């Protein structure tokens, strides 16, 4: 690993620290499937062209603030290194101050796979420990199908996930995933969802 003062660095995948608790495993699986379809040259090109935004924190650890799904997919597929863009060096701060500043910048999402607020020290120490949030996976599926637009608001799809938690039961999601996605798409177009980032308007 290069010295911390470099703006761009190379890091070991297994050393990356997450800034959220959960991802949508269905999205991770799709990224793994896409990776398996690439030859060695294409895989190398993907790694070289992709930069994970990160913050250097206490213990000289690099905390990624986006692309957790890809990071976990690469970890599962045995990729060893990725490129990071270091947004800020906060390694000199005490952990409690570090996390408060991370939250101020909207660089951390301290909520568990059920959408419940947690303490900062409960955030996984490795991307391999990320948990599955069915509703985050649902939100990702709806966005990709055009239910709502990609938005620059940090963790915007978790806001959609929380919206769906109040509309669809876990049992419904597990019973018929495709039917749940179709229903969620319709819900995304309702007037009730207009407060959410990326809302594209009600169905005519």
Domain ranges of the chain: 8-132, 134-193
Q: At what angle do helices 177-188 and 156-165 cross, to 10 degrees?
A: 110
State the pLDDT at residue 33: 97
- pLDDT greater than 70 at residue 10: yes
Q: How far apart are CA 68 and CA 61, in angstroms?
A: 16
- pLDDT greater than 60 at residue 4: no
Architecture of the domain delimited by 8-132: Alpha-Beta Complex (3.90)
State the pLDDT at residue 8: 87
Cβ atoms of 122 and 21 closer than 8 Å = yes
Query: Quick one: 134-193 is in which CATH superfamily?
Result: Ubiquitin-associated (UBA) domain (1.10.8.10)
pLDDT in tens, 175-194: 999 999 999 999 999 999 99
**Sign, Cα dihedral of 167, 172, 174, 178:** negative
Q: Could you tell me the pTM of the whole model?
A: 0.92
pLDDT in tens, 62-99: 999 999 999 999 999 999 999 999 999 999 999 999 99
Q: How far apart are CA 171 and CA 2, in angstroms?
A: 47
């Amino acid at each position: 690993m290069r010295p911390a003062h470099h703006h761009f660095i190379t890091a070991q995948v297994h050393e990356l620290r997450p800034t959220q608790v959960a991802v949508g495993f269905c999205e991770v699986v799709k990224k793994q499937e896409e990776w398996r379809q690439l030859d060695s040259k294409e895989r190398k090109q993907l790694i070289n062209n992709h930069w994970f935004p990160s913050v250097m924190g206490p213990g000289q650890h690099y905390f990624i603030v986006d692309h957790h799904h890809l990071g976990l997919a690469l970890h599962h597929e045995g990729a060893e290194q990725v490129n990071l863009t270091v947004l800020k060096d906060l390694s000199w701060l005490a952990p409690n101050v570090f996390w408060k500043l991370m939250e101020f910048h909207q660089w951390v999402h301290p909520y568990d796979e059920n959408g419940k607020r947690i303490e900062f020290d409960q955030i996984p120490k490795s991307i391999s420990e990320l948990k599955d949030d069915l509703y985050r996976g649902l939100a990702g599926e709806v966005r990709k199908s055009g239910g709502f637009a990609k938005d620059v608001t940090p963790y915007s799809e978790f806001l959609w996930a929380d919206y769906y938690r109040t509309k669809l039961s876990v049992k419904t999601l597990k019973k018929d995933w495709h039917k749940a996605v179709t229903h969620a798409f319709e819900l995304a177009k309702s007037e009730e969802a207009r407060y959410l980032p990326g809302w594209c308007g009600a169905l005519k």
